[in-house]
Structure 1
Amino acid sequence: MPTTVSRAPAATPDAALAHFGRRLSFETDCSDVHYALTREEPDFVLLDVRTPVLYAAGHVPGAINIPTRMIGAARLAEYPPETLFVVYCAGPHCNGANKAAIKLAELGRPVKEMIGGLTGWIDEGLGLERS
């Protein structure tokens, strides 16, 4: 008798490859962002979409702050159109990063979400910067 895990059959390997590959085109994680910021030449802008007060209290080092409500063509004009934005908010309980990603995509900008947000960053034992 199958367990609750295997009762619904697993996807085929080809379907799994397509699914998980698509997910990685939409998201990245805290560990990969940290590695890119500290050991590579970042090819993205890390965007904290929380309020300025929350950003000042603690944010991912290297992140800039543009609250979701402030994302617009004029604010992004300083970045080339092909600039990849990686957005994050407070954590899994917050949909601010999703709302920001929608706004960026509507503006024709490449975007990924840093899954876990600030909560994930802290859970990974990574430090914060304060303004």
Structure 2
Amino acid sequence: MSLVSEVPAAAPSLVAEYYAQRLAFETDCSDVYQAMTSGNADFVLIDVRGPVLFQERHIPGAINLPHGKMTARKMAEWPDDTLFVVYCAGPHCNGTDKAALRLGRLGKGVKVMIGGITGWADEGNPFEMG
């Protein structure tokens, strides 16, 4: 028996439930890029890093809104059913977690773009400056 099979795999129904639940909370750089380049972006992409880092480079079409600025008043600028996709520097940053928590508490739909700027760059996707 290998270290892989030492602990039996979960039942297929549990696997399906687990991953469906994960995908309800997150998306990835590839899916965001595909949606944005095909004209099917049915979400608002938010860069939650600070304004200086945003000016250096950011994902085309993203707006800069650090999690601390996500107030009920600010978020009321979008319809209630808006889906927000948030990203930060990368896997080493918890800015997206803080933004998702804040948006969830404000009653907003949100997904985290896993990988952040690091993942976006790793996939060779373009950036905007300024």
TM-score by length of 1: 0.97
- Counterpart of 2:128 in structure 1 is 129
Q: Distance in 2 between matches of 1:83 and 1:48?
A: 16
After superposition, the CA RMSD in angstroms is: 0.7
Structure 2 counterpart of 1:53 = 52
Q: CA deviation at 1:41?
A: 2.4
Identity within the alignment, %: 55
Q: Does 1:118 align with 2:124?
A: no
Question: What's the offset of the Cα at 1:5?
Answer: 1.6
Counterpart in 2 of 1:22?
A: 21
* 3-state SS in 1 of match to 2:112: strand
Unaligned runs of 5+ in 1: none
Offset of residue 40 of structure 1 = 3.1
1:8 offset after TM fit, Å? 1.2
How far the C-alpha of 1:117 sits from its partner, in A, is 0.5
1:30-89 CA-to-partner distances (Å, cap 9, x unmatched) read: 000000000132110000000000001001111000011111111111100110000000
| 1:1-131 mapped onto 2 (5 Å cutoff) | 2-131=1-130
The SS at the match of 2:78 is coil
Please give the TM-score of this superposition, normalised by the length of structure 2. Answer: 0.98
3-state SS of 2:80 partner: coil
Matched residue type, 2:61: G
The secondary structure found in structure 1 opposite 2:111 is strand
Moved over 6 A (4+): none
CA distance in 1, matches of 2:22, 2:110: 12
Q: Give unmatched runs, 5+ long, in structure 2.
A: none
Cα distance between partner residues in 1 of 2:16 and 2:67: 32
